[in-house]
Structure 1
Amino acid sequence: MPELVFPLDSTKRFTDQELLGHNRWHPDIPAAVHVKPGDSFRVHCREWFDGAIHNDDSADDVRDAPLSTVHVLSGPIAVEGAKPGDLLVVDILDLGPIPQEDSGPLAGQGWGYTGIFAKQNGGGFLTDQFPDAYKVIWDFMGGTATSRHVPHVSFTGIVHPGLMGTAPSADLLSRWNRREGDLIAQDPDRVPPLALPPLPEDAILGGLEGDAFERAAAEAARTAPPRENGGNQDIKNFTKGTRVFYPVYVDGAHLSMGDLHFSQGDGEITFCGAIEMGGFIDLRVELIKGGMEAYGVGENAIFMPGNVDPQYSQWLAFSGTSVTLDGTQHYLDSHLSYQRACLHAIDYLTTFGYAPEQAYMILGAAPIEGRLSGVVDIPNSCSTVYLPTAIFDFDVTPGADGPARIDPGMGVPRSSF
């Protein structure tokens, strides 16, 4: 096992640990750990809400989820010799749930969860159709996930970090805040909001204290969106065997990570659409000096996906176009066409007996594939959702005898405002 450089004790809150991580992006957050190019090391990660979501049959905790506290990230990890303009090469050697802890109150101790967030508290990809809070608990058996809330489904998890990235420079942070502030100003009262501005409340900034903490908390960026530094990209194929090339903006690069997922469908469409958990990740780092200019990587991370994904041979695909539910035509809107494809898949699964929210949870947590299938044929973009048929224990393909009817079980816990 690689050296454990960022340990977490499951009996303690994130803020009570020996090493203190962070939940905002800021260049002044000091490194918690130092490593060298060529080093391999292990990092423990807490699930993104630090234990606020429970293994029970109520969705009140998802309804009341404290979004101001996320994500709780392990790091920053400084890489010796890294300078702005370099590329940080990160190999994901291994990752999984909390080691040697297959039961307990924390997600990652043999279980994880998927949530549909209430429109009043985060929302989701289909928030107008699903405005209330729901929760599904998934149990882990080896590499397989099953749920008492969504019966007749099981699948192999594609375990990955939802969030990993390098620290922004002061200039890059300023650009984030300026452009996202301009977006918020277009509709400041929108629900859900157009973006999340800096929020000093509940900020965790590693070892910063006093005036330095106050200054940084007032301008530190929230971790919710993906940005130039990587961040919360939620890429399901970002799994064991992946090699990532991150742009370096500050001395030491200051790599951080968290938001581990046992599984996820393309898009993480319920917002908390993955199977959220805590766990571990083993990494190896290297540097490509001057790599940002050499390879034209100025404002994005690039990666080579791992090769441990489950191999499905049969899929059922659903298409959608850029036309709203009320029949309004949009011009090549791929976001809308993917929404429509997802809604078509949900409608289809309900014919077998699933409730709409159960079908929605399947699309969020199972390894579905989302594709942009046509983006040039005006006025309609075409997006598709590929659903692996082998995750079901009954035949979900169309046939002359009509859809089989399954027992949907207890259903998905729901909480409303």
Structure 2
Amino acid sequence: MDLLSTHYISGPIGVEGAKPGDCLVIEILDVNYFENMPWGYTGICDRKDGGLLATEFNSKATKVIWDLEGIYASSRHIHGVRFAGIPHPGIIGTAPSAELLDKWNKREEKLIADNPNTIPPLGNVPNPKGVYIGQDIPEDQERKIALQGARTFPGRENGGNCDIKDLSKYPMLPAFEIILLMGCSGTKVLNILHFSSGRNDDPSPVAPQYNQQVVFEGISADVHGDGKQYNLDATVAYKQAALNAITYLGKIGYTKEQAYMLLSAAPIESHISSIVDSPNACVTIGIPTAIFDQVFSLLVGIMVCANYKPHQDISPKPEGFTKRYLGQCAIGSDGVI
């Protein structure tokens, strides 16, 4: 996956009369996918492109296709799972002022310079490769945008890639609002759509709610790696919680790639449960049990067997689990599983 060719966003939408320092209230009336394109995907980047668990996954780029039916998602690549998603603008924000853009670029360039051997680079500075400008403008302006325009991978002061799954409208519930700070005159609003998000999200006050979970904890010691102790590092703690969950799902029969994809897409909940008691930050990840025992469609050869119910209980059992074959992700042909 070329990370310089991702996160193309919709917009911009001009806001007439907006001035720097104003607050813009955006009301999300409805969000959904195109009816003639009822699918989405989750991916693991090639190791050279990095990621949260880049060193643990020695594989080529890996993909899972999700088939969408109403609010539900299931996959031919991960059997026995069906969950409700909440479509939302995973990226939404305002265009930065020239001063704010310059501030971003300088601080991220310094971060990259201070950590030159990190793959991928720690910052996300402007790069003309992969730039897409969806309007007909003079070549000199295109060149300026390509060389100076902000990349949209991380969230920043203007909003951006924050993956707030509750920023949505759900049937029978009020629309949601987001308040953004204006960065420049005639502020422009940009966004991109996600169907579901399982990363670092707080519990949703809107349906669907999954009340029963199997919860995994991680601390800021690299117990799955070299054992190094870190001080109150929530990222290390989250990584350990994720690896604990992946190891557990492996006992049921899911591959590590499938388990990783589930944590990325399903409505899990993660919390920082402790961030003050040195040396260990504590982070938890809760996986809803109900997504494993709902009715789903299982693809067998060319025949779809609907209403197959596996009754798969992932709660801990004294006798342990019997591993089952639960499908396989789409992995690059030269990948290593």
Query: Does TM, scored on the shorter chain, surpass 0.5?
Result: yes
Cα deviation, residue 154, structure 1: 0.5
Cα deviation, residue 203, structure 1: 2.1
Structure 2 residue 141 is matched with structure 1 residue 212: yes
Cα deviation, residue 330, structure 1: 0.6
What is the rounded CA distance, in whole Å, between the counterparts of 2:258 and 2:5 in structure 1?
27
Cα deviation, residue 404, structure 1: 4.0
Q: 1:323 aligns with which of 205, 208, 221?
A: 221
1:383-411 deviation per Cα after TM superposition (whole angstroms, max 9, x unaligned): 000110100021111123322433213x1
Counterpart amino acid of residue 320 in structure 1: G
Q: Corresponding residue for 1:245?
A: 179
What is the rounded CA distance, in whole Å, between the counterparts of 1:201 and 1:402 in structure 2?
50
What is the rounded CA distance, in whole Å, between the counterparts of 1:204 and 1:110 in structure 2?
25
How many aligned positions are there?
307
Q: Corresponding residue for 1:110?
A: 38
What is the rounded CA distance, in whole Å, between the counterparts of 2:203 and 2:233 in structure 1?
27
1:57-106 deviation per Cα after TM superposition (whole angstroms, max 9, x unaligned): xxxxxxxx3322332211111112211110110111111111x41xxxxx
1:138-194 deviation per Cα after TM superposition (whole angstroms, max 9, x unaligned): 111111111111101100012111111100001000000000000010123321211
What is the rounded CA distance, in whole Å, between the counterparts of 1:399 and 1:331 in structure 2?
34
TM-score, normalised relative to structure 1: 0.70
Q: Is the 8 A contact 2:200 2:271 kept in 1?
A: no
3-state DSSP of counterpart to 1:224: coil
Counterpart amino acid of residue 414 in structure 1: I
1:313-368 deviation per Cα after TM superposition (whole angstroms, max 9, x unaligned): 21111001001122111101000000000000010111111111111111111000
Structure 2 residue 251 is matched with structure 1 residue 351: yes
Q: Corresponding residue for 1:265?
A: 198
Q: Corresponding residue for 1:87?
A: 23
Cα deviation, residue 267, structure 1: 3.7
Counterpart amino acid of residue 405 in structure 1: K
Q: 1:392 aligns with which of 292, 313, 321?
A: 292
Q: Corresponding residue for 2:190?
A: 256
Counterpart amino acid of residue 413 in structure 1: A
C-alpha RMSD of the superposition: 1.9
3-state DSSP of counterpart to 2:29: strand
What is the rounded CA distance, in whole Å, between the counterparts of 1:309 and 1:127 in structure 2?
33
Q: 1:370 aligns with which of 258, 265, 270?
A: 270
Change (3 A) 1:88 1:305: farther
Q: Corresponding residue for 1:125?
A: 52
Q: Corresponding residue for 2:157?
A: 228
3-state DSSP of counterpart to 1:89: strand
What is the rounded CA distance, in whole Å, between the counterparts of 1:244 and 1:163 in structure 2?
12
Which structure 1 residue ranges, 4+ long, deviate > 6 Å from structure 2?
none
Percent identity over paired residues: 46
Structure 2 residue 87 is matched with structure 1 residue 159: yes
Q: Corresponding residue for 1:50?
A: none
Q: Corresponding residue for 2:6?
A: 70
Q: Corresponding residue for 1:312?
A: 210
3-state DSSP of counterpart to 1:336: helix
Q: 1:402 aligns with which of 310, 320, 323?
A: 320
What is the rounded CA distance, in whole Å, between the counterparts of 1:305 and 1:336 in structure 2?
22
Matches within 5 A, 1:283-302: none
Counterpart amino acid of residue 317 in structure 2: G
TM-score, normalised relative to structure 2: 0.86
Q: 1:144 aligns with which of 72, 95, 119?
A: 72
Q: Corresponding residue for 1:183?
A: 111
